[in-house]
């Protein structure tokens, strides 16, 4: 029986991950950015519905920036926050619900703002339409 303390796990800080401003990332690029093996990403695709990379004509997985952000979030939930896969799935679902509950338009009163925008657009149409 050993009396030595277990070495603490290395903290993998998701804040250290800087996602380049690109349209698409290959699975190898995402694996390198997030310091994860590609097979983990493929497994997470089956476990998390939020993670849906598109496939190119050659069958290569192409991750969008939001997919990479989801990978970073999943990694944080699993490796830093200690969630199980099922728990992380529930947490992501709750976060998505709370985001949907917020107004899509950044205006205090969306209905009034839409009416105002409609009025502004009609005025622009009158300006652009040929005079009779």
Q: Is the pLDDT of residue 6 over 50?
A: no
For the chain, the residue count is: 132
More confident residue, 97 or 35: 35
Question: Which of helix, strand or coil describes residue 13?
Answer: coil
Report whether 11 contacts 80 (CB < 8 A). Answer: yes
Domain housing 114: 104-132
What average pLDDT does range 28-48 have in this prediction?
A: 95
Residue 43: per-residue pLDDT: 97
Phi, psi (5° rounding) for residue 54?
Answer: -80, 160
Please state the domain count of the chain: 2
Q: Is the pLDDT of residue 102 over 70?
A: no
Quick check: is 9 in a domain? no
Residue 112: band (very low, low, confident or very high) from pLDDT cuts 50, 70, 90: low
The mean pLDDT value of the chain amounts to 82
Give every CB contact of residue 28 below 8 A, 6+ residues apart in sequence.
38
Q: Give the CATH number, domain containing residue 71.
A: 1.10.1660.10
Report the distance separating Cα 38 and Cα 40, nearest Å. Answer: 5
Paired tokens of 121: 């657009």
Is residue 85 located within the same domain as residue 127? no
Please tell me the pTM assigned to this model. 0.63
Is residue 28 located within the same domain as residue 79? yes
Element spanning 61, H or E: strand 61-64
Quick check: is 1 in a domain? no
Residue 45: per-residue pLDDT: 95
Residue 103: per-residue pLDDT: 52
Quick check: is 7 in a domain? no
More confident residue, 23 or 109: 23
């Amino acid at each position: 029986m050993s009396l030595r303390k277990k070495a603490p796990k290395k903290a993998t800080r998701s804040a250290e991950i800087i996602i380049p401003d690109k349209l698409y990332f290959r699975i190898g690029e995402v694996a390198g950015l997030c310091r994860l093996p590609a097979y983990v990403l493929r497994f997470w695709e089956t476990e998390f519905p939020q993670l849906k990379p598109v496939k190119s004509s050659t069958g290569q997985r192409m991750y969008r920036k939001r997919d990479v952000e989801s990978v970073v979030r999943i990694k944080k939930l699993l490796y830093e926050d200690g969630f199980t896969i099922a728990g992380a799935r529930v947490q992501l679902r709750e976060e998505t619900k709370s985001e949907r509950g917020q107004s899509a338009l950044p205006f205090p009163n969306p209905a009034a703002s839409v009416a105002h925008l409609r009025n502004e657009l009609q005025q622009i149409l009158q300006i652009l339409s040929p005079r009779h």
